[in-house]
Structure 1
Amino acid sequence: MNLKIHIIDAFTDVRFKGNSAAVIITDSWLSDELMQSIAVENNLSETAFLKQLTPKQYQIRWFSPLTEIDFCGHATLAASFVIFKENQTVEEISFMAKAVGELTVTKGHDGYIQMCFPNLVPKAVTDVPQDLLDGLSIKPVEVLLNQQAYIVVYRDEAEVLSVQKSDEHLKRLAPFDVAVTASTDSGKREYDFVSRYFWPANGGGEDPVTGSIHAGLAPYWSQKLAKSELIAYQASTRGGLLLCRVEADKVYISGKAVQYLEGVIYMGSI
């Protein structure tokens, strides 16, 4: 049995930027152990495994090199890019995921792919874990938490860019990861807010671009900045741009993607 694999750079239209994800579409699920082994071998932030239910509906699971992930935005974008590329007449698809339900994805006419996520607005944390404070070199202005991560708010973009992390401390916050963020001077920047994402407990050191956390970041900054449409930039070394639109119970995240690789995984007799 051989498996077709795509590697896609998501939230960018420039190859070697954004966040890379592998996409594998199968007729039936591989074993959890095999999917995890493939994700380890790929050594990307995520490998997305898809099982097709209908021409426009898929089940999706995401694996980092360390564990299965409940929710991954950039690998969903990568999977959508592959499906739309191989099915030119399809304009909308949906993914079923155990932890977050149905995710609807629409192909835009301007190169963007729009994903509809649940609104995962974070709530303020009054009792901030000491490991969070010890794990970041700059003291937070505010700390919030949603289903996925602690969200640490800083005074400005410079603090987001310069903060140093301690994986030893941040690992102890599992199952939660950590996002750091600040608003920007929109008159001088093309984006409204900036972020970085640390996930030593679930995936590695720093994630290049994290679509899922913007289901929490976008609602937070929408309230703070009093605007429903925002442009976000994740300031990793690769970097990525995300267009966000916030509604009462939904967050729409749009991004571009570019193909890096198409190949075959040789499984032998497995």
Structure 2
Amino acid sequence: MTIPFFQVTAFSQSVFGGNQACVMPMEAWLSDELLLQIARENAVAETAYLKRLDPGVYALRWFTPDLEMDLCGHATLASAHVVLNHLEPHLDRVEFDTQSGRLVVTRSEHGLDMALPNRMPASAELPHALAESLNRTPLEVHLARDFMLVYASQNDVEQFDVDRALFDRANLGTGGVIVTAPGEDCDFVSRFFTPQATILEDPVTGSAHCTLAPYWGARLGMSVMQAQQLSARRGALRCEVKEDHVQVSGQATTYLEGTVHLNQT
């Protein structure tokens, strides 16, 4: 069995920045176990699997090396890039049926615009296991799918770290921990960490901005914001809070194209 394979960098114009995703179009779903094995073999933050339903409409699933996710922004952006540049380049819009509903991505002057759910967080208490693992105490704690820790400055986010042994005592399922503060050269900055995950820090996390954008939009009194994720690879995102969703925009570029050969015995 062979499957087309694309490795795409999302939220950066450089193949050495942003966040990597493998995108694999297929005619029918393989077993969940095999999809997870492939994601582990790909060894990047996320593997996206596409199944074409109609012209410009695809079923989309996301797998980390550890589990299937309910939403992944950067792999959605990467999937749209593959559809609109490799599979159906005559289109300017693609729709994805996912666990989080139908997601629409369109070409624009900003690169690719994704319509993602609005996940406005609520104030919360930080679990003891997480609180003990942090190298600095946040000013605020909020929770949607992910815990969001708010700090005073960009330097706090840059210097943030966790004690991995303590951090991994927390089990957040498909959730993670967002660390955020006002930005120096943008409206806000962030980083994203996941306990018990093969990849501790996600380089650029589109889905986290479903929570970051409405929070910072309300705090700053802005609907359109520029954001940066301060991982080693760095990433840039444009966020716009709409009436019923969050629009997250960014660039993507293809790094690798090939074929996966599955020899199952």
Q: If the TM-score is normalised by the length of the shorter chain, which range does it land in?
A: over 0.9
Query: Which amino acid counterpart does residue 137 of structure 1 have in structure 2?
Result: N
TM-score, normalised relative to structure 1: 0.94
TM superposition shift of 1:41? 0.4
Which residue of structure 2 lines up, in the alignment, with residue 237 of structure 1?
Answer: 232
Q: SS of the residue aligned with 1:219? A: helix
Tell whether the 8 Å contact from 1:195 to 1:233 is kept in structure 2 after alignment: yes
Task: Give secondary structure in 1 for the equivalent of 2:215.
Answer: helix
Q: Which amino acid aligns with 1:151?
A: M
SS at match of 2:59: strand
1:136-168 Cα distance to aligned partner (Å, 9 max, x none): 101000000002x10000010000000111233
* Structure 1 counterpart of 2:242: 247
Partner in structure 2 of residue 153 of structure 1: 150
Deviation, structure 1 residue 269: 5.5
Is the partner of 1:137 in helix, strand or coil? coil
Q: So what's the TM-score if we normalise by structure 2?
A: 0.96
Moved beyond 3 Å, runs of 4+: none
Question: Is the 1:131–1:173 contact (alpha carbons within 8 Å) kept by the matching residues of 2?
Answer: no
Displacement after TM superposition at 1:202 (Å): 4.2
- 1:49-64 to 2 correspondence within 5 Å? 49-64=49-64
Query: Counterpart of 2:190?
Result: 195
Who is 2:111 aligned against? 112
Tell whether the 8 Å contact from 1:231 to 1:244 is kept in structure 2 after alignment: yes
Q: Secondary structure at the match of 1:268?
A: coil
1:173-212 equivalence runs, <5 A:
173-175=171-173, 176-185=175-184, 189=185, 191-212=186-207
SS at match of 1:33: helix
Alpha-carbon separation, structure 1, partners of 2:247 and 2:50: 21
Give matches, 1:136-151, under 5 Å: 136-147=134-145, 149-151=146-148
Equivalent-residue separation in structure 2 for 1:264 and 1:184 (angstroms)? 41
One-letter identity of the residue aligned with 2:231 = S
Between the aligned partners of 1:37 and 1:111, the Cα distance in structure 2 is 35
Segments of 5+ residues of structure 1 without an aligned counterpart are: none
C-alpha distance in structure 1 between counterparts of 2:149 and 2:47, whole Å: 27
> Identity over aligned residues, as a percent?
39
Q: Distance in 2 between matches of 1:33 and 1:251?
A: 32
1:177, 1:202 within 8 Å by CA — same for their partners in 2?
no
Question: SS at 1:115's partner residue?
Answer: strand
Q: Which residue of 2 aligns with 1:93?
A: 94
- RMSD, matched Cα: 1.3
Structure 1 position 268, deviation (Å): 3.0
Which of 257, 262, 265 aligns to 1:267? It is 262
DSSP 3-state at the match of 2:232: coil
**Deviation per CA, 1:149-197, whole angstroms, max 9, x where unpaired?**
1000001000000011123333314223101000124xxx1x1000000
SS of 2:28's equivalent in the other structure is coil
Contact kept? 2:171, 2:195, Cα under 8 Å: no
- Using the TM superposition, give the Cα deviation of residue 204 of structure 1 relative to its aligned residue in structure 2, in angstroms: 1.9
Q: Counterpart in 2 of 1:46?
A: 46
